[in-house]
Structure 1
Amino acid sequence: MTAARLSPRGLAAATAAFGIWGLFPVYLHPLSGVPALQVIAHRVAWACVFIFGWLLLRGELAGVSATLTNGRLVARLTLTALLISGNWLVYVWSVTHAHIVDTSLGYYINPLVNVVLGVFVLRERLNGAQWTAVALAGAAVAYLAVLAGRPPWIAGTLAMSFSLYGLQRKVISVDALPGLATETLLLLPLALGYLAWCQAAGGAALSLERPGIGALLIGSGLITAIPLFLFAYGARALPYSTLGVLQYIAPSLQLLCGVLLYHESFRPALAAGFALIWVALLIYAADGLWRSRSAPRAARA
């Protein structure tokens, strides 16, 4: 067993990252009175401040400078910036409009959407267990759509936007933090322009009259940056299969927040749809763990 598999710090960092993402609804819920677009604009602006501050302290701004001089990279990071900001917008709107359970569904099915994109975009091959997991997830989504009388657009948008974001970042040759710094920098003019317009129109949420709301808006940048730093550390110290299991911490906590803290509906019929998703994920995760453990044995044979 490698040292990476035994890294307690890596495990703690990754667990903390997914835990923060899972509890993000608790942070966002007090901002329900602030328009989602304004929350995102603040999130972009303050995340840019904190991320660039961190890179400056570590002397790692050269990576951002090198990225900005590459026109092709900038174009591709512009696309990823739009994808992740769209994902953030739908997520914030959903949390502040009593759809936390829907967001958890989106991040439960996200790994399986990744699998489907891998097949159709990257031409990856699936084994029987993976196809079974994808089929069960598809059946669950169809069932939930019939149950609701409409497609589960929140879950679908979150899963697809984040999967497309991950797919693009997978093929872009730039490290995680310089890439995120560049993305926030590209979004910064739009964010600042919108916030300036809100201020001029008298609808700015950041004001001395509401210091608590202002602190949450400023802190949204920090709460964006911290789990990304923790995840980057954990991803380097742990095997990918371990990260694949830990990622379900976030949607599980989101589901608990929605049902237990904010009393969103989770009737038995809805739980049945989630149960299908959980079975699909169990098959997918078990298959991934089995293959990750059998690969070293095959290499030694």
Structure 2
Amino acid sequence: MWALAPIYFKALNNVSALDVLAHRVIWSFLLTFAILFALRKHRAILSALSQRRTALGLLASTTIIALNWGVFIWAIQENRILSASLGYYINPIISVFLGMMFLGERLNLVRKIAIALCLFAVVLEIVRFGSVPYIALFLATSFGLYGLIRKRLGVDSFVGMAVETGLLCPLAIGYILLSPNDSARLINNEWQTNMLLFLAGPVSMLPLLCFSAAANRISLGALGFFQYIGPTGMFILAVLVYGETFSAEKVTTFSIIWIALLLLVSHSVRQFLKQQHRKPSD
């Protein structure tokens, strides 16, 4: 779903990134709350907020995911899909590092080499090409921190999403009312644009709910493994569909990151095969 997200946000190029973000928050909240109400889990929101540690944790994750959403939308609309793609290629490696630092997950030689290659790629782009991949670094780090916080909290994915979007909803409504852009308010738009803005709810909610549910069930390292699909789809869209330039510095940076990810993938496959081989036959 994340791999195809740029198609949706490109279709909203006539609406500013902040306006899209505001609608994304509002419709995500309404949809999530409706699902919670249907499942009779709406009281769990009050339960989560009544615990100080959980409430503060969700406030932190709310802030992080709002910034992540905003930068991602802006990057897509400004033809920086390659930078966003690079960020989500780096993100699994950031997740591995955060898992080691804060959750006590073991860091074997392959993961150490992958992290070292990631750092080398970033430093090389800064030193050799004189550019800081700030969009990629921000998206990777912010989403890695979001996954870490949600994993440590262990809050139900629906409840966490409802709280996060609920905390942002008053700000989003206030922004829409005060926005200088006519496109922020539904009454000024064509029905096609409004339909796309309504879809911001499911487009935003479904991938995040899947991510949050997975973060509560598997290690951050394993979670990172499945995230390679998203940036690959974004990369293909950027180069083959939207015609972004795959410059020399991007070729170098992406190549090093791909080598790091290839090491992680091959190691994970070998570990999986070993585990399958050790299982007794039926």
Tell me the TM-score normalised to structure 1 length.
0.83
Cα offset for 1:271?
1.9
Task: Identify the residue that residue 44 of structure 1 maps to in structure 2.
Answer: 25
Amino acid at match of 1:31: L
- In structure 1, list runs of 5 or more residues that go unmatched: 1-19
Cα offset for 1:277?
0.7
Moved more, 136-145 or 108-117: 136-145
Is 1:272 the counterpart of 2:249 in the alignment? no
Structure 1 residue matching 2:100: 3-state secondary structure: helix
Moved more, 76-85 or 130-139: 130-139
Task: Identify the residue that residue 134 of structure 1 maps to in structure 2.
Answer: 115
- In structure 2, list runs of 5 or more residues that go unmatched: none
Cα offset for 1:211?
2.0
Cα offset for 1:209?
3.8
Is 1:70 the counterpart of 2:51 in the alignment? yes
Matches within 5 A, 1:277-296: 277-295=257-275
Structure 1 CA distance, aligned partners of 2:43 and 2:25? 21
Aligned counterpart in structure 2 of residue 221 of structure 1, from 201, 209, 213: 201
String of CA shifts for 1:122-153, please: whole Å, max 9, x gaps: 44442111111111111122223345422100
Cα offset for 1:227?
3.0
Is 1:161 the counterpart of 2:142 in the alignment? yes
Moved more, 239-248 or 179-188: 239-248
String of CA shifts for 1:90-135, please: whole Å, max 9, x gaps: 1000000010000000000101111222333344442111111111
Matches within 5 A, 1:115-154: 115-146=96-127, 148-154=129-135
Distance of aligned partners of 1:205 and 1:275 in 2 relative to their CA distance in 1, 3 Å threshold: farther
Task: Identify the residue that residue 75 of structure 2 maps to in structure 1.
Answer: 94
Cα offset for 1:208?
4.4
Structure 2 CA distance, aligned partners of 1:287 and 1:88? 31
Structure 1 CA distance, aligned partners of 2:216 and 2:165? 23
Amino acid at match of 2:143: F
Tell me the TM-score normalised to structure 2 length.
0.89
Cα offset for 1:284?
1.2
After superposition, the CA RMSD in angstroms is: 2.7
Q: Which has the higher contact order (CA 8 A, sep 6+)?
A: 1
Distance of aligned partners of 1:299 and 1:140 in 2 relative to their CA distance in 1, 3 Å threshold: same
Checking the alignment, whether the CA contact within 8 Å between 1:205 and 1:213 is kept in structure 2 is no
Is 1:206 the counterpart of 2:149 in the alignment? no
Checking the alignment, whether the CA contact within 8 Å between 1:107 and 1:251 is kept in structure 2 is yes
Q: Name the count of aligned residue pairs.
A: 280
Moved more, 113-122 or 168-177: 113-122
Cα offset for 1:83?
0.3
